[in-house]
Amino acid sequence: MAVFTMSAYTTLICSIVAALGSFVYGMDTGIVATTIAHDSFKVYMFGSTTSVDTSTLGAAVSVYYGGKAVGAFGGGIFLSKIGRKRTLTLSSLFAVVGAAIQTGSVHIAMLIVGRLVAGLATGALVAGIPVYIAEISVPERRAFYVGMQGMMLAIGFMVANWVGYAGSFAAYGDIQWRLPLAMQIPMALVLMVLSFFLPDSPRWLIEQDRLEDAKHSLWKFHGLRGEEYIQREFSEIFAQISFERDQKRRGALVELVSRKYLRRTATAMFILAFCQFSGSGAIQNYQSIMYASLGFKGRTVLLISGCYGVLGPLGQALNFWVVADKWPRTRTLYVGIASLTVCLVVLTPISAVYGDGSNESASSAGVAFIFLYSFLNALFLNSTPYIVASELFPYHLRGYGSSIAIFTQACAQILITQVTPLAFKAIEWKYYFVFIASNVVAFLFYMFLLPDTNGHTLESIGALFGDEVKAAPQPPKDIDVVVELEENVTPAADRRSGSA
């Protein structure tokens, strides 16, 4: 009997609140691009605009991703031990502290410490957000709801770019870059407060043997689908988690690299790492260098960065309308990576021939393809990798698996952010060939080796990798049935194909 307060928008609202952590992440990653472009920042931290230590500057950017790597690794433990929503609360507190340190920095070393603390926070946030949202979503809308993480990431990055540009109009001095750094704080505070009101993941509650609380949570998220749906969903989740609990023999990290789960672990790590090797991380963090290579200078660089940021939310919005839950995850990934490669193939000769800015039309064309890259990245790859990484693992490894994937992504970001300024200085436009080559590898992997998880319940995805599962697949949306769980259930993948 449905006796609980329900709302058709509960899942959407909770997804947006959780995804505020990605807004914080977008602000943190985006604000550094405009901060290091201000002459006032260079003079304050390095003494003059001509004495900038590129290695130290690279460290100020990449240490954030070092913190993210550690935070993601620790986030897997917190997600399992204290729960999904409490991990979001604790992480947002660290985000506030890190942003405050950055804002008050009186030396480049202090800024680096602030970036490190903020990285710790966002590592745990980025690992936890897709797990939480995936676990409260229905299968046929999971990409849409987890996609809120991508939308908030894009919005946060856009806001960071425009705040940085606005800072250039302030009176010359510290305020030009301190105020933008301070703008990281408000949304982290909002998330910290609102996270107290989020319902817990029903799957985490079942794992904790809080069965009545889990049923209440399911009613809050999916109650409008009716009592039979809730009972069936609860039975499937309970059966699968109980089965996995009985099968566990070793620690989570050992299981992730065991023969049974190694393929899934490697897949999640590959997808998140190659998001960075596609060139997106280099473009986002070092736009100012790229625009300078096309002949643009000064405030114009910040203005172009602001315009670049607008395309992220537009691309993610189109993803919701056209791609999310409509395209197979695999197609989204390989079409996306192919489109980014085309942009880089065109951008490379433009930068090679007209990098001195001598041809205004060519420089404008170069900026246009960077903009198109941003739009296509948001359309196809802004949220999909996080969706897939959160889906691949069984419940007892989901938090750890997502964390390992984000850890790998952060390590790739450290490499890219450290190398990029040096590479642009040493080999200039030839650096784009690195991204083109890695995109070809990713395209082949997505096309031929990645199983598609679109439309499967979280409990039935293991069947795609040969696992025994106790959860039956969801019936078509227009069929109102109750599936009786038996001692042994045919794997979901076989049932879908009609095999006995």
Give a three-class secondary structure readout of 52-99. CCHHHHHHHHHHHHHHHHHHHHHHHHHHHHCCHHHHHHHHHHHHHHHH
Radius of gyration of the chain (CA): 23
- Top-confidence residue, 297 or 35: 35
Handedness of CA 91, 93, 94, 95 (dihedral sign): positive
> Distance between CA atoms of 115 and 25, rounded to whole angstroms?
12
**What local confidence, expressed as pLDDT, does residue 485 receive?**
35
What's the one-letter identity of residue 98?
A: G
What's the one-letter identity of residue 301?
A: V
- Contact at 8 Å (CB) between 111 and 45? yes
- Contact at 8 Å (CB) between 122 and 95? yes
pLDDT (tens digit per residue) in 272-304: 999 999 998 888 767 777 777 677 777 787 788
- Top-confidence residue, 38 or 355: 38
- Write out the two tokens for 134: 């995936």
- Side-chain half-sphere of 226: how many Cα atoms within 13 Å? 8
**What local confidence, expressed as pLDDT, does residue 62 receive?**
78
**What local confidence, expressed as pLDDT, does residue 8 receive?**
60
Domain contains 203: yes
Domain contains 113: yes
Q: Which helix (H) or strand (E) holds 375?
A: helix 360-380
Domain contains 443: yes
pLDDT (tens digit per residue) in 375-401: 999 999 999 999 999 999 999 999 999
**What local confidence, expressed as pLDDT, does residue 16 receive?**
97
**Residue owning tokens 């897997």:** 76
pTM recorded for the entire structure? 0.87
- pLDDT over 80 (residue 313): yes
Q: Which residues, other chains included, contact 473 with Cβ-Cβ below 8 Å and sequence gap of 6+?
A: 456, 457, 460, 492, 495, 496
> Distance between CA atoms of 439 and 426, rounded to whole angstroms?
22
* CATH number of the domain residue 389 falls in: 1.20.1250.20
- Write out the two tokens for 378: 């948001």
**Residue owning tokens 């849409």:** 144
**What local confidence, expressed as pLDDT, does residue 238 receive?**
94
DSSP result, 103-137: HT-SSHHHHHHHHHHHHHHHHHHHHHHHHHHHHHS
Range(s) of the domain holding residue 436: 10-210+224-461
Stretch among 1-15, 69-83, 304-318, 440-454 having the lowest mean pLDDT: 1-15
What's the one-letter identity of residue 422?
A: L
Q: Which residues, other chains included, contact 154 with Cβ-Cβ below 8 Å and sequence gap of 6+?
A: 26, 309, 312, 313, 315, 316, 378, 382
Average model confidence (pLDDT) for the chain?
A: 86
> Distance between CA atoms of 160 and 148, rounded to whole angstroms?
18
Stretch among 116-130, 155-169, 233-247, 269-283 having the lowest mean pLDDT: 155-169
- Contact at 8 Å (CB) between 157 and 52? no
- Write out the two tokens for 150: 């991508």
**What local confidence, expressed as pLDDT, does residue 487 receive?**
37
- Write out the two tokens for 347: 């951008």
Domain contains 216: no
**What local confidence, expressed as pLDDT, does residue 479 receive?**
31
Mean pLDDT of 23-31: 90
Alpha helix positions (H), 6-53: 10-35, 39-46
3-class SS of residue 480: coil
**What local confidence, expressed as pLDDT, does residue 248 receive?**
65
Domain contains 193: yes
pLDDT (tens digit per residue) in 206-244: 999 999 999 999 999 998 888 899 999 999 999 999 988
**What local confidence, expressed as pLDDT, does residue 11 receive?**
94
- pLDDT over 60 (residue 269): yes
- Write out the two tokens for 228: 């039979």
Q: Within its chain, how far is the Cα of 479 from the centroid?
A: 34
Domain contains 148: yes
**CA-based end-to-end distance of the chain:** 35
> Distance between CA atoms of 145 and 391, rounded to whole angstroms?
13
Mean pLDDT of 82-107: 95
Domain contains 386: yes
Q: Among candidates 435, 455, 442, 408, which has minimal Cα distance to 333?
A: 442
- Write out the two tokens for 405: 């994937």
Domain contains 217: no
- pLDDT over 70 (residue 499): no
- pLDDT over 70 (residue 99): yes
Number of domains in the chain: 1
pLDDT (tens digit per residue) in 437-492: 999 999 999 999 999 999 899 999 999 988 877 755 443 343 333 333 333 333 33
**What local confidence, expressed as pLDDT, does residue 366 receive?**
83
Mean pLDDT of 162-169: 82
- Top-confidence residue, 351 or 94: 94
What's the one-letter identity of residue 215?
A: K
- Top-confidence residue, 142 or 481: 142
- Contact at 8 Å (CB) between 88 and 125? yes
